[in-house]
């Protein structure tokens, strides 16, 4: 009995270590996601510059893919590659990522890039930037904030209704306050550990989720809902919100509200002119994009390691 108890303690310690050291997002159902920090060269290049050599990009390089799939086959796991479309920098790509399962089990582990949200068409930093920009500008205009996000990240279809739904979603979470990029980098795993982590998650899924639920501290959880934005993103420099250049107000036509027919006027007044949005130059736009990307990546990894949930 003593040996069995000791073995259970060792398993418990191992599983707690898994929770402390990997960016894994846990769900109450059978799905678990590992956020991959070190991506294939093609995907890294696409995120950094928006350039791509084709419409399909894998999370891992061909070499890494072969090594991982070989280890899963050796362990008796089933795997399949799934695809999700991402829109970024005026391009659409199909991201190829593996989903691993135990035989005759519904429990699965998906290995997705850190920037991807399951089932959503834009990278996580697009949603995060629009939400943060709206708060930083005093909640002045959702249209301006979505236009800013769309311009910075090249997603013209990102609109006000998306941001409105995002801010109403009570599952929104963020925890950028107090984080440091170096801390997130230290806690995030290397790709070489992934096969081990996948095995632990598949073999002990129920126990890991039980440990997670029992160890949760409500006071330590990040704020949820739209109010998280001001506090959670307060460490992001204000200068990264300066995407739109202030322009003079539009001119208005004077309406004659008297009941008699209006006099003809020719005093130089013109019809109302729609104010044109003027953005910063491309160099500054690129600086804003790259700086926010780096901060958001650290925050995403930190949220997954500490809270085992997506940033958004």
DSSP string, 49-74: HS--SSSEEESS-HHHHHHHHHHHHH
**Quick count: other Cβ atoms within 10 Å of Cβ 20?**
10
pLDDT at 3: 42
Task: Mean pLDDT check: name the lowest of 116-130, 154-168, 213-227, 245-259.
Answer: 213-227
Sign of CA dihedral 73, 209, 297, 244: positive
Note the pTM of the prediction, 2 decimals. 0.80
* Cα dist from 56 to 31, 52, 280, whole Å: 24, 9, 32
The mean predicted confidence, pLDDT, of the chain is 78
pLDDT at 135: 85
Average pLDDT over residues 246-263: 62
Q: Quote the distance between the C-alpha of residue 304 and its chain's center.
A: 11
Reported in sequence order, the residue ranges of 156-269 that DSSP labels E, i.e. its strands, are 244-245
Instruction: Give the C-alpha separation, 280 to 244, whole Å.
Output: 6
Task: Mean pLDDT check: name the lowest of 3-17, 130-144, 147-161, 226-240.
Answer: 3-17
Regarding predicted confidence, which is higher, 167 or 154? 154
Instruction: Tell me the domain boundaries of the chain.
Output: 2-236+283-307
Instruction: Give the C-alpha separation, 56 to 213, whole Å.
Output: 37
Which three-class secondary structure string do you get for 181-192?
Answer: HHHHHHHCCCHH
pLDDT at 278: 87
pLDDT at 200: 84
pLDDT at 78: 94
Give the phi and the psi of residue 131 in degrees, each rounded to 5. -65, -45
Portion of the chain with pLDDT greater than 90, in percent: 39
Residue 277 has pLDDT above 90, yes or no: no
Instruction: Give the C-alpha separation, 255 to 272, whole Å.
Output: 11
Residue 132 has pLDDT above 60, yes or no: yes
Pairing, β 91-102 against β 56-58: parallel
pLDDT band at 253 (very low <50, low <70, confident <90, very high): low
Task: Mean pLDDT check: name the lowest of 11-20, 21-30, 126-135, 286-295.
Answer: 11-20
Query: Tokens 């089990």 sit at which residue?
Result: 105
Surface-to-core class of residue 52, CB atoms within 10 Å of its CB (0-12 exposed, 13-18 middle, 19+ buried): middle
pLDDT at 13: 67
pLDDT band at 184 (very low <50, low <70, confident <90, very high): very low
Q: Using only C-alpha atoms, what is the Rg of the chain?
A: 24
């Amino acid at each position: 009995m003593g040996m069995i108890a000791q073995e259970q303690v060792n398993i418990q310690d191992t599983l707690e270590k898994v929770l402390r050291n990997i960016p894994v997002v846990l769900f109450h159902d059978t799905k678990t996601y590992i956020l991959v920090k070190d991506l294939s060269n093609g995907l890294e290049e696409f995120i950094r510059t928006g350039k791509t050599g084709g419409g399909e990009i894998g999370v891992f390089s061909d070499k890494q893919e072969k090594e991982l799939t070989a280890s899963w086959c050796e362990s008796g796991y089933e795997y399949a590659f799934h695809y999700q479309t991402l829109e970024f920098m005026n391009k659409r790509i199909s991201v190829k990522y593996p989903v691993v399962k135990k035989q005759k089990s519904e429990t699965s582990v998906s290995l997705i890039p850190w920037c991807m949200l399951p089932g959503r068409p834009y990278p996580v930093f697009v949603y995060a930037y629009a939400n943060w920009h709206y708060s930083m500008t005093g909640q002045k205009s959702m249209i301006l904030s979505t236009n800013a996000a769309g311009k910075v990240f090249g997603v013209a279809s990102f609109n006000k209704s998306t941001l409105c739904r995002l801010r109403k979603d009570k599952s929104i979470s963020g925890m950028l306050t107090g984080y440091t990029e170096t801390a997130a980098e230290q806690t995030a795993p290397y790709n070489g550990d992934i096969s081990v982590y996948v095995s632990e998650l598949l073999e002990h899924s129920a126990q890991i989720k039980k440990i997670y639920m029992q160890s949760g501290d409500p006071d330590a959880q990040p704020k949820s809902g739209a109010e998280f934005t001001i506090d959670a993103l307060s460490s992001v420099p204000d200068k990264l919100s300066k995407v739109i250049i202030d322009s003079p107000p539009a001119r208005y036509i004077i309406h004659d509200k008297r009941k008699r027919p209006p006099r003809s006027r020719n005093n130089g007044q013109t019809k109302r002119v729609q104010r044109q949005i003027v953005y910063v130059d491309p160099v500054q736009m690129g600086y804003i994009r790259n700086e926010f990307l780096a901060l958001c990546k650290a925050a995403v990894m930190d949220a997954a390691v500490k809270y085992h949930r997506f940033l958004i």
